[in-house]
Amino acid sequence: MAAPGKSGNRPLLPLYRHLLQALGPQHWWPGDSAFEIALGALLTQNTAWRNVEQALRNLRNRGWLQPEAVATAPLEELEQLLRPSGYYRQKARRARDLARWWLAHGGEEGLRSLPTETLRRELLRLKGIGPETADSILLYAFHRPVFVVDAYTRRILSRHGFPLPPDYEGLRKFMEDQLPRSVPLYQEFHALLVAVGKHFCRRSPRCTGCPVADLWGPGQGV
């Protein structure tokens, strides 16, 4: 077991391999289409995934889990279907904006033809889509090699002594510089870090049994 302390030179690839062995594949992101995955990334803001699953199930049961349906759905009906995801009035409008944007760019085929940076800029122009949501859509819906960083990523690495950039873009670049450029690896590593963050590296850390602690020793701080 490694001693805790400054860890700026500690490579991340062994951590990925260790987490994969300890926790197994996470099978992210669930969805039957690129649009469903993108919509799920939008709806999961400020709520638990189980609530998003219920909202998506409501859309599926109504036959509305396609951009054409969401783009033209009566707003009040769409709000009620998305109610389980929380902030449902706001999310209904943003879901409709996403669907209309999707169709205006030629659907999935048209969007897949765009270079990654162009597609990212287009996503960030949509109200309610910030860098983390945009990168989730890029990575999971369009299979672009863009690492998604979140509060869990920052918390886990900072507790183990990594001198992290303070901003989102800097942290994303840090992760991408440390890892091979691989969509499957980025997808799995992000999902594994989320699992560690949810179950172990909480605001009040639970280091006992944490696979990161097994590899590197317990983290520091709260």
The pTM is what?
Answer: 0.93
- Would you state the pLDDT for residue 102? 98
One domain for residues 72 and 170: no
One domain for residues 191 and 99: no
CB 199 within 8 A of CB 155: no
DSSP state of 31: -
Judging by beta carbons within 10 Å of its beta carbon (0-12, 13-18, 19+), is residue 213 exposed, middle or buried? buried
User: Is 173 part of any domain?
Assistant: yes
Q: Is 144 left (phi over 0), alpha (psi -120 to 50) or beta?
A: beta
Least confident of 50-54, 122-126, 204-208: 204-208
The number of domains in the chain is 2
User: Is 97 part of any domain?
Assistant: yes
- 105: its two tokens: 């760019």
Please say which residue of 85, 110, 141 terminates a domain. Answer: 141
Domain coverage including residue 122 = 34-141
User: Is 128 part of any domain?
Assistant: yes
Q: Is the pLDDT of residue 6 over 60?
A: no
What is the spatial distance between Cα 219 and Cα 199, in angstroms, rounded to a whole number? 15
The domain that contains 161 carries what CATH number?
A: 1.10.1670.10
What digits encode the pLDDT tens for the residues 107-152? 999 999 999 999 999 999 999 999 999 999 999 999 999 999 999 9
What digits encode the pLDDT tens for the residues 78-113? 999 999 999 999 999 999 999 999 999 999 999 999
Instruction: Give the position of tokens 């507790």.
Output: 159
